[in-house]
Amino acid sequence: MGHGGNVIGELTADHREVDELFARIEQQPVGDKRRRQLADQLTVELVRHSVAEEEYLYPAVRRHVDGGDDLADKELEDHAGVERMLKDLEGLDTDDDQFNHLVAKLKLQVAEHVRDEENRLFPLLAAACTAEELDELGDRIRRAKKTAPTRPHPSAPDTPPGNKILAPGAGLVDRARDLITGRNH
């Protein structure tokens, strides 16, 4: 991830990348070990994306959009549910029946969240911000994804200032764990 452009273009490109990862998981035979590798890659992308949104997108929505607090709170609730599912998925083998069930449930929840962002939140943000503000948010989102965690941390703070302080450290630890375990991202 790291596509360039304003915040809406950046996050929409992330959404399409996640859609593609779900499709690639579904293309693998049930129980195939490649499903685990793809699920790990999906987890990395979703966690980085979520952390970046929590650090920069939702605070901007609160600041610029009428009713932004309620919108941001709803999106944070969605993220918490997805992160709990990712944590549960992390411990499952591909031959576990729960693996396929969780991937399917995760796909539905993520798709609903994406539709809500793209059809409601993004248009409201675009109407409330200047092109320069949207471009700056895109830059901040890209920087945040570079240092974000790569594994789910459901109990970590999801609002500033706690998330901005802890996410880079968790990201560093996660990347070290990934290197040691050979987990690709």
Q: Residue 93 belongs to a domain with what CATH number?
A: 1.20.120
CB atoms within 10 A of CB 4: 10
Q: Report if residue 59 sits inside a domain.
A: yes
Q: Report if residue 2 sits inside a domain.
A: no
Q: Which two tokens stand for residue 25?
A: 């998981």
Q: Report if residue 32 sits inside a domain.
A: yes
- Each residue of 87-102: pLDDT tens digit? 999 889 999 989 999 9
Number of domains in the chain: 1
Can you give 31-59 as a three-state secondary structure string? CCHHHHHHHHHHHHHHHHHHHHHHHHHHH
Q: Report if residue 36 sits inside a domain.
A: yes
Residue 164 per-residue DSSP state: H
Q: Is the pTM of this model over 0.85?
A: no
Q: Report if residue 1 sits inside a domain.
A: no
Q: Report if residue 128 sits inside a domain.
A: yes
Question: Cα–Cα distance between 168 and 50 in angstroms, integer?
Answer: 13
Domain assignment of residue 174, given as a range? 7-181
How much of the chain, in percent, has pLDDT values that exceed 70? Answer: 79
Among 88, 52, 71, 75, CA closest to 167: 52
Among 105, 80, 89, 81, CA closest to 159: 80
Residue type, 35: R
- Each residue of 109-167: pLDDT tens digit? 999 999 999 999 999 999 999 999 999 999 999 999 988 777 655 555 445 544 444 44
Q: Report if residue 121 sits inside a domain.
A: yes
Q: Report if residue 61 sits inside a domain.
A: yes
